[in-house]
């Protein structure tokens, strides 16, 4: 979507914010706006999931290090 629609998702996979370029709203192309919103949410969810996985890996490493492993 070229950044025309952006979504922010928490680590708990909840949509926190959706930003839409004003030109899309005045353009009147509802189907395109819906497609861009879905793509933005999916991209934000993937990014949030990556962040959660990194945190889990760091916690596991910390726990192993603390156990002398």
Tell me, letter by letter, the H, E, C secondary structure of the chain.
CCCCEEEEECCCCCEEEEEECHHHHHHCCHHHHHHHHHHHHHHHHHHHHHHHHHHHHHHHHHHHHHCCC
CA 11, distance to chain mean position in Å, is: 9
Q: Model pTM greater than 0.75? A: no
Name the band, by pLDDT with cuts 50, 70 and 90, for residue 60.
very high
Express each pLDDT in 4-44 by its tens digit.
888 898 888 888 888 888 888 887 777 888 888 889 899 98
């Amino acid at each position: 979507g070229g950044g025309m629609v952006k979504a922010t998702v928490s680590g708990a996979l909840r949509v926190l914010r959706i930003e839409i370029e004003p030109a899309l709203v005045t353009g009147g192309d509802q189907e395109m706006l819906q497609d861009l919103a879905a793509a933005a949410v999916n991209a934000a969810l993937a990014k949030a999931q990556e962040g959660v996985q990194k945190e889990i890996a760091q916690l596991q490493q910390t726990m192993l290090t603390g156990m002398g492993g």
